[in-house]
Amino acid sequence: MLIAVLAGLIVATLYIPFGKYLKGRLAILASALPIGLFAYFASFIPLIGSGKEASFHYPWVPSLGINFDFHLDGLSLLFALLITGIGSLVFLYASAYLSGHKYLDRFYAYLSLFMAAMLGVVLADNVLLLFIFWELTSISSFFLIGFNNDNADSRKSSLIALGVTGGGGFLLMAGLILMGHLSGSYSIQDMMGSHEFLKSHTLYGLILLLVFAGAFTKSAQFPFHFWLPGAMKAPTPISAYLHSATMVKAGVYLLARLQPVLGGTDFWTYPLIAIGGITMLYSAFHSIFRTDLKGILAYSTISALGILVFLIGIGSPQSLLAASVFILVHALYKAALFLITGVIDHETGTRDVTQLAGLRKVLPPLAVGGLLAALSSAGLPFTFGFIGKDLVYEATLHTEGILHIVLTALAVLTNVLLLYAGLLAGVKPFTGKLPARYDHVHLPHWLMWGPPLLLSLLGILFGCFPTLADNALLKPAAQAMYHADINAPLKIWHGFNLVLLLSAGTLALGTFLYFIRKPSASGLKRIERFENLSPKHLFSTLARLVRVFSRRYTSILHNGFLRAYLFRIILFAVCLLAFRLFTGGPVQFVLDNVTPISGYEIVVAGILIVAIYLAVTTPSRLTAVVATSVVGYCICLQFVFYSAPDLAMTQFTIDTLTVVLFVLVLFRLPPFLNFANRSVRIRDGILAGAFGLVIALISIQVLNQPFDDTVSRFYGDNAYLLAKGKNVVNVILVDFRGMDTMFEIVVLSIAAIGVVSLLKLRLKTSEKE
Amino acid sequence: MKSTILKTASNYLLPILLLFSIFILLRGHYHPGGGFVGGLIAAIAFVLHSFTNGTDATLKLLRIHPSSLIPVGLGLAALSMAAPMLLGKPAMTGLWFDEPFPVVGMIGSALFFDLGVYFVVIGVVLTILFTISQYSE
């Protein structure tokens, strides 16, 4: 299981050395990974179908409670199969869609990375592990949205997406840690045991807020929905895969997964119903005004996500079953529509729905696929969408009190609009008269029309034989959300009842709307007038303000003068240390334990003071350098007096090298300017004096503390026994704390590379002059 | 710098200082010293030489550019860190020969680690200083 989850990560790294061999005909080989994983997860269907669950445990950082714990139940399996199944088709599709693209290897690497991350999210049992994979999906989505990185729009959209989902992820992390901390375990399975405790805790509201923030940003719920239409800048297979079928459902998955832990209270139910309801209606309404095919699909996807959140919010067995059915329904038809849009874009060069017509004559298999997908989205009988929609209505009708009328009306209205959007995307481009300019359009490689057709056909297959998916997959998934048995088999025919009437009404209204309303650019304009009030606008304004603020802040604090930096750093250190010193209790001034001051120390101190005076007052740079190095050597001598020979030796050589460095550049420096006037010197002198005083006071304080010598005694006792060295300092450096030294020399090397590249850069610009 | 005395002296000082730096490196395990100080002293030896003979002359004397000492040192340190893992012990376990070697004394993985530090320090210091001095010429 661990290998299956991490396979994508491993393969993604393999693309770095071997990717260049994969660009031509061999690109299709990349699909071996998702197909293999699909087969692996499909092998669990019998196990899950028989009502069992599977757990896998691999220790990672057990001391922090972070482990590779995976738990496979119906919900996880449903998602895992969607991820790998649609992933396989997208991998195949992309090999033709992006055939010959310069960065095809990079594309597959990101895609594999994403797949691994997404599998991790839906399989992880440990919430911290879930969070790590969750963030990985955000990052891989960032790379994929910005895949056309020479396009400024693309880059902006990817940053917005990362900003929104990353911000939500940050809040989610806090929520998950809080949950884990309160319940005493980071395992979701364990948390289910303490759900009573969590729900009655005073911090329950805060946990919900944080978890909702994570889920809503990821699943593009109002008011965070705006990143998703922007994410459509990604190549179409990506939109189909990440931003419709899988990644955006991670938020829905999280809510579904935590339903047994946090769900069932009013604080859970009503916000989810409200936000889901607003999202589904708002975006369904928006979708019908779009003229870009991908725009239509993006908004109808957001609407579908709203429906899912809404259903999870209701939380009844019917609604959870409806949610699990709808996840599959939506993934099938929406991915198909996206892939079809991709072909249309690829072959005709436009996605403008007002331009496209009559393509059935030149792209017949896609016309069939589009029609079937649109019918499934419309919910015609004998499509899978019909079953899904029936269940949604049944769920809303079974809610309590007056609410059921409101919710049902909301669902019907949303479905009417979605039906219209589905017909617009799946049927409109193929009907009517073929414009002459599209005569040359020809059917692309079968890898591009095969996958969407397959997805649409699956929608019909499940629609005619719902039991195929029901017992094995959907019922276990709903049960995992409900955490109890659900006994409601999927049926094609429920008899003549209110649900059927609503379904028929939806169909009639939607089709009617399709025939009377033609998409037009003027409708889009009308709705764009409200853009200034949209959350997206507010978000960009906020981002701009942050940029302005940081520029001002930077120009104040980072003005490029070394003396200003030093002044602030020392000032801050003095304040901080003095604050701690004086609030930490009375300052004792006991000098009993201090070794008596010897004669040569006084001599060295005298030299030190003279050197400092010279360094501060001299008008010559050379004198200043020499005086400063005398200060350095005097300090070295102090180390010698206090038996720290290793330190003294190193300090001596470093000081020497510093002087050498100065001498090297001395002649290149501009004439010595005295920046400091009298008042500046007095100010700096006061600061320096204060710093010295604080350090001295701390040193005296330290002498009065009882001295804990466990650590130094350990090193002293064991240096020779364990490391065969008599010089404890050196033994610590190369043996006990050798890892630190290793990193230090790595840092040194990086510093050298930095210095050299900076200087070489300057050399080049001066060469230009 | 055009000082005959310094120039003549630096020619003799270079081997002596280098020898001294190795001495410091080797004695580090028992007395004050070690790879870091040793490396600094060796670097000073070369810098002194470059002062009097010019950076190009020192680079010629070195034959290889000092920057290539950095990966050598890092590799040596990393290898001595990883070597115990080949014997099934945790990384950084000290491995020692049982008998002391003549002149050098005890030899163990820590010594090679220190040697790695020594090379990295020489490489880093000389790379930085020589680049700056070439830039300022």
Q: For residue A320, is pLDDT > 90?
A: no
Interatomic CA distance for residues A95 and A105, integer angstroms: 10
Short-list B6, B7, B47, B59, CA closest to B129: B47
Rounded-to-10 torsion of CA B99, B104, B110, B116: -150
What is the rounded average pLDDT of the residues B109-132?
88
Per the confidence metrics, is the pTM higher than 0.80? no
- Between A584 and A748, the higher pLDDT residue: A748
The alpha carbon of residue A293 and the mean position of all alpha carbons in its chain are separated, in whole angstroms, by: 27
Distance between CA A213 and CA A175 in Å, rounded? 9
The nearest CA of chain B is from the CA of A755 a distance in Å of 7
For chain B, counts of helices (H) and of strands (E)? 5, 0
| CA-based nearest residue in chain B for residue A640 | B32
Q: Find, among A274, A298, A169, the residue nearest to A222 by Cα.
A: A274
Out of B28, B92, B131, whose CB is closest to A727? B28
Name the one residue in this structure whose structure tokens are 């393509």: A359
What is the identity of the amino acid at A258? L
Check B117 against A751: CB less than 8 A apart.
no
Alpha-carbon distances, residue A317 vs A246, A262, A391, A584 (angstroms): 23, 16, 11, 59
> What single-letter amino acid sits at A529?
R
**pLDDT band, residue A769 (cuts 50/70/90):** very low
Is the Cβ–Cβ distance between A299 and A422 less than 8 Å? no
pLDDT band at A532 (very low <50, low <70, confident <90, very high): low
Mean pLDDT, range A588-594, rounded to an integer: 70
Facing residue for A755 by CB, picked from B116, B120, B131: B131
- Contact present, A446 and A462 (Cβ < 8 Å): no
CA of A768 to nearest chain B CA: how many angstroms apart?
15
B14 strand-pairing partners = none
Instruction: Report the residue of chain B nearest A766, measured CA to CA.
Output: B135
Mean pLDDT of A283-292: 84
pLDDT tens, position by position, A194-203: 888 888 888 8
Q: What is the ipTM of this complex?
A: 0.86
Q: Are A665 and B132 an interchain contact pair (Cβ–Cβ within 8 Å)? A: yes
Across the interface, of B35, B106, B124, the residue whose CB is closest to A752 is B124
pLDDT by residue (tens digit) across A137-148? 999 989 888 888
DSSP code at position A431:
S
Main-chain dihedrals φ then ψ at residue A317, nearest 5 degrees: -55, -40
Return the pLDDT at A465: 81
* Candidate from A645, A661, A752 with C-beta closest to B32: A645
Record: contact B34-A738, CB cut-off 8 A: no
Task: Judge whether residue A10 has pLDDT over 90.
Answer: no
Parallel, antiparallel, or unpaired for β A66-72 and A54-61? antiparallel
Closest partner CB to B92 (pick from A724, A726, A739): A739
Average of per-residue pLDDT across A101-107 = 82
Cα A143 to Cα A274: distance, rounded to the nearest angstrom = 32
pLDDT classification of B77: cutoffs 50, 70, 90: confident
Q: Do A724 and B106 touch (CB under 8 A)?
A: yes
What distance in Å separates the CA atoms of residue B7 and residue A53, rounded to the nearest whole number?
82
A763 → chain B, closest CA residue: B135
A666 — pLDDT class (breaks 50, 70, 90) = confident
What integer pLDDT is reported at residue B2 of this predicted model?
65
Nearest CA in chain A to B100: A724
Q: What pairs with residue A70 in β-bridges?
A: A56, A124
* pLDDT at position A763: 61
Smallest CA–CA separation between B51 and chain A, in Å?
A: 9
Count CA atoms within 13 Å of residue A714 on its CB side: 5
Residue A218's nearest CA partner among A315, A349, A130, A288 is A130
A727 closest CB neighbour out of B32, B36, B44: B32
pLDDT at position B136:
64
Residue A746 to residue B74, Cβ atoms within 8 A: yes
> Among residues 47-66 of chain B, which lie with CB inside 8 Å of chain A?
47, 51
- Are A727 and B133 an interchain contact pair (Cβ–Cβ within 8 Å)? no
Pair of tokens at residue A26: 């061999």
Cβ-based contacts under 8 A for chains A and B: 135
Q: CA A115 to CA A425: how far, in whole Å? A: 27
The CA distance from A712 to the nearest CA of chain B, in Å, is 17
Among chain A residues, CA nearest to B128: A752
Residues of A in contact with B51 (CB under 8 A): 660
- Measure the CA–CA gap between A473 and A621, rounded to whole angstroms: 80
Question: In the numeric block, which tokens belong to residue A572?
Answer: 């801050």
Chain A residue numbers touching B110 (CB-CB < 8 A): 723-725, 731, 734-735, 738
Q: pLDDT for A222-266, tens place per residue? A: 888 888 888 888 888 888 888 888 888 999 999 999 988 888 888
For residue B133, give how far its alpha carbon lies from the nearest alpha carbon of chain A (Å): 6
Q: Which residues contact A321 (CB under 8 A, 6 or more apart)?
A: A391, A395, A474, A475, A478, A486, A488
Q: In whole numbers, what is the pLDDT of chain B averaged over residues?
A: 82
In B, residues 61-120, which contact A (CB 8 Å cutoff)? 67, 70, 73-74, 77-78, 81, 92, 94, 96, 106, 108, 110, 113-114, 116-117, 120
Of A724, A738, A756, the CB nearest to B113: A738
Specify the length of chain B in residues: 137
Q: Considering only A535-549, A681-695, B35-49, which range has the smallest mean pLDDT? A: A535-549
Question: Minimal CA–CA distance to B105: which of B116, B114, B93, B92?
Answer: B114
Query: Can you spell out the DSSP letters for A46-70?
Result: HHHHTT--EEEEEEEEGGGTEEEEE
Contact A32, A136 (CB under 8 A): no
Chain A residues whose CB is inside 8 A of the B32 CB are 645-646, 649, 727, 729
- For chain A, what is the mean pLDDT? 83
Closest Cα to residue B83, out of B107, B101, B110, B104?
Answer: B110
What is the mean predicted confidence (pLDDT) over A333-357?
85
Angle at A67 between CA A61 and CA A72, to 5 degrees: 170
Average pLDDT rounded to a whole number, residues A93-117? 85
Q: What mean pLDDT is predicted for residues A311-340?
A: 87
pLDDT of residue A663: 77
Continuous segment of H or E residues that includes residue A565: helix A562-583
What string of DSSP letters covers A466-484? Answer: THHHIIIIIHHHHHHHHTS
What three-state secondary structure class fits B108?
strand
At residue A76, does pLDDT exceed 70? yes
d(CA A564, CA A631) in angstroms, rounded, equals 22
Beta strands in A2-138 (DSSP E): 54-61, 66-72
CB-based contact, B39 to chain A, within 8 Å: no
Task: Determine contact: B33 vs chain A, CB below 8 A.
Answer: yes
B37 and A730: CB-CB below 8 Å? Answer: no
Q: At what angle do helices A317-348 and A446-464 cross, to 10 degrees?
A: 160
Give backbone dihedrals phi and psi of A70, rounded to 5 degrees, phi first.
Answer: -115, 145
Q: What is the secondary structure of A403-419 as a DSSP string?
A: HHHHHHHHHHHHHHHHH
B34/A656 CB distance under 8 A:
no
SS3 A32: helix
For residue A223, whether the previous peptide bond is cis, meaning omega lies within 30 degrees of 0, is yes
pLDDT at position B91: 61
